[in-house]
Amino acid sequence: MSALETADFPDGWERSPDRGREIAMERRDGRMTVRAIRSALTDGDGSWNLQFEHGVENGYSAARPVGQVRTRKAAVAELVSLAETAEAQLDEGSSPDDVVRAFRN
């Protein structure tokens, strides 16, 4: 069982199926995804690159790097934190485009 449990999800988010070196959470409306991709095998867990992915108007998606961590446990914690941040901004009335701009900075 993955460390990414449903109890950890912010409202409106769900776990995406694990894909080998990748773990992710997706917003139920499909517009946003936070993803961690294991980039290198070293002693132990390796390195995990964090991405924020969002849908754009033409039906494609764009991914933005938002950090890097060393362990799977840290990657899961960061995914939950990123999803909570995005959801909080949406709850405060930010548009999805505003959320994207916040992740750019």
What is the secondary structure of 17-79 as a DSSP string? Answer: EEETTEEEEEETTSSEEEEEEEEE--STT-EEEEEEEEE-TTS-EEEEEEEEESSHHHHHHHH
User: pLDDT for 49-81, tens place per residue?
Assistant: 999 988 776 777 788 888 999 988 899 999 999
User: pLDDT for 8-57, tens place per residue?
Assistant: 778 889 988 878 889 999 999 888 899 999 986 655 667 999 999 887 76
Fold of 6-104: Rossmann fold (3.40.50)
Could you give the CA distance from residue 25 to residue 4 in angstroms, rounded to a whole number?
9
Domain boundaries, the chain: 6-104
DSSP 10: P
Report the amino acid identity of residue 20.
Answer: G
Rg for the chain, CA atoms, rounded: 13
Count of CB atoms situated within 10 Å of the CB of 87: 18
Is residue 1 very low, low, confident or very high in pLDDT (cuts 50, 70, 90)?
A: very low
Output the pTM of the full model. 0.81
